[in-house]
Structure 1
Amino acid sequence: MSLRTSEHASEHTSGRADRSRSEVHLVPAPGGGRLWAERSGSGTPVVLLHGSGMDSRLWDGVLPELARRHDVVRYDARGLGRSAEPDRPFDDVEDLRAVLDHFGLASAALVGLSMGGETALDFALAHPARVTALALVGASVSGHHWPAAPETADYAEARRRGDASALAALELSVWAAMGRTAPGGELIAAMVEENAARRIVSEHHLAGAPVRAAEPRLGEVAVPTLVVHGDRDHPEIAAIAERLAADIPGARAHRVPAADHYLPLRTPERLTELLLAHLAA
């Protein structure tokens, strides 16, 4: 099922016919429900995956230039944004496969932030023939042991109580440290606050997904990989980025100044530059 919009995604480029408008699709999700997805531009395929408690608006500052050169799909993860809430356990890796299948993409480059980076990496290890490149932005990684921290217990308590307001406040204080007045701040706050209650439901059902551990298998990644994190992101994200860059063969790493965990909205121009260079290599 698809719904088509009249929004212009990109201009015509010499030698290549671009889509004149974006296409909004409702992708059937494994086990039921629909995933909201948008396809823009033309060229080699790229799929954008957002992080936990966010939605595809994370990529608003990156999409226009990326779609000038690539066939770009972005989607809202299960239960977030405009996608249907789950009512049973689901697997975000299988959801990504459903998105690729829906758009007829045998393979694509995957760009993921945080949870989206973890999903992209898990997918690349499970389905290596379907991934042409990886860009891991402030990424988490399955199998990583997170050190104990006060906010970990606070997150768990907010989820236990179903306290969406407390969860949103934690997210913004821990992960959006640059605040609302920094670039992208209002959109970041809106995404977090609008998705907080839905996140609690989604994460409850995601807990039933298969347990994966990508961290000890990073040496198996066989596609060009870019690792990016902001200089004001959580310290553990910096540690994970260092591990990804060291253990993934040939990975290239960049530390972006003036960016916290919401790097695509804090410094969209710099991230776009890095992505275009990586995807053209």
Structure 2
Amino acid sequence: MSSHIDPSVVEVHVPAPGGGRLWAERRGGGSPVVLLHGSGMDSRLWDAVAPALARHHDVIRYDARGLGRSDAPERTFDDIEDLGAVLDHFGLGSAALVGLSMGGETALDFALAHPDRVTALGLVGASVSGHDWPPSPETTAYAEARRRRDTAVLAELELSVWAAMGRGATGGELIATMVEENAARRIISEQHLAGAPARDAERQLGSVTAPTLVVHGDHDHPEIAAIARRLAADIPGARGHLVPGADHYLPLRTPEQLTTLLLNHLA
């Protein structure tokens, strides 16, 4: 029986700053692109995008600290330092960064801290540090679920609020599996995350120098849509794009559309 293992795909464990290891994967060839996932997810978010991107680019994706196959943190950590460690491990002085939600926030914070290391930005359904989220029943419920360490409720909230198109839509089964498997891990990870609360990228958007694409889905959370409009308006030269038929999990809902947008942006 023939093997379907792609020899161009390499999995590694990157030493994380302060201890532990980050799971990472590298595939393809060309100019480097790093894919960052959101909170409560892992790098499987990019399963339907990474292979197509890798036909044109050197694609790296990794599981953020404590999520997916990466080690749980035992002390405070900084997501920007982790991203820098991934770039350094692969010998990359600079790369394009494509991030969703929390991953987009990390990419943007990194671009502001290290502009010389970021060749382009793709912000997909991105959050942004410094943004004042309006109070709502769902944010209150999230805080309560975290306080009680109620992973079942946390996963249920994640799917109802952010995966609004449901389990039956494209990518729904993988989204549900990913969220449920990471629900307990995200509580530990978020408790150890340092740095982000003190950052304020929202008021520094005019300083972003990397060519930037801002993408969000038409079924995403209204506040994400508001952030996307702000990013597209305030980042110099940024281009905004609304993708129909996608909620917050856009890379799994509409992978072909997103891949086309990214390839055009990164060309």
TM-score range, shorter chain: over 0.9
* Identity across the alignment (%): 78
> Within 2, Cα distance between the matches of 1:65 and 1:205?
34
The answer to whether structure 1 residue 258 and structure 2 residue 245 are counterparts is yes
**Structure with larger RCO (C-alpha < 8 A, sep 6+):** 2
What residue number does 2:82 align with? 95
Q: Does 2:159 match 1:172? A: yes
Partners of 2:180 and 2:31 in 1: CA distance = 34
Residue among 34, 49, 54 paired with 1:67: 54
- Provide the rounded CA distance (Å) in 1 between the counterparts of 2:185 and 2:55: 33
The structural deviation recorded for 1:211 is 1.4
1:204 positional shift = 0.5
Name the TM-score, length of structure 1 as normaliser.
0.93
Count of matched residue pairs: 265
Q: Secondary structure at the match of 1:106?
A: coil
Verify the 8 A CA contact 2:66 2:189 in the aligned structure 1.
yes
Q: Quick one: which of 162, 167, 174 aligns to 2:149?
A: 162
Q: Is the 8 A contact 2:129 2:196 kept in 1?
A: no
| Stretches of structure 1 lacking an aligned partner (at least 5 in a row) | 9-19
1:143 pairs, out of 109, 122, 130, with: 130
- TM-superposed CA distance for 1:21, in Å, is 2.0
Distance 2:232 2:238 in 1: 5
Q: Tell me the C-alpha RMSD between the 2 structures.
A: 1.2
Residues 1:126 and 2:124 are matched in the alignment: no
How big is the shift at 1:191?
A: 0.2
Paired with 2:5 and 2:8, the residues of 1 have a C-alpha distance of 5
User: Take 2:122 and 2:196, find their aligned partners in 1: how far apart are those partners?
Assistant: 23
- 2:225 equivalent in structure 1: 238
Shift of 1:7: 2.7
Match of 2:175 in 1: 188
Question: What is the distance in 2 between the residues matched to 1:127 and 1:7?
Answer: 36
* Counterparts of 2:105 and 2:58, CA distance in 1: 22
Within 1, Cα distance between the matches of 2:44 and 2:96? 19
Instruction: Give the corresponding residue for 1:21.
Output: 8
Q: Does 1:7 align with 2:10?
A: no
Counterpart in 2 of 1:202? 189
Q: Which runs of 5+ in 2 are unaligned?
A: none
- Structure 1 segments of 4+ aligned residues over 6 angstroms from their partners: none
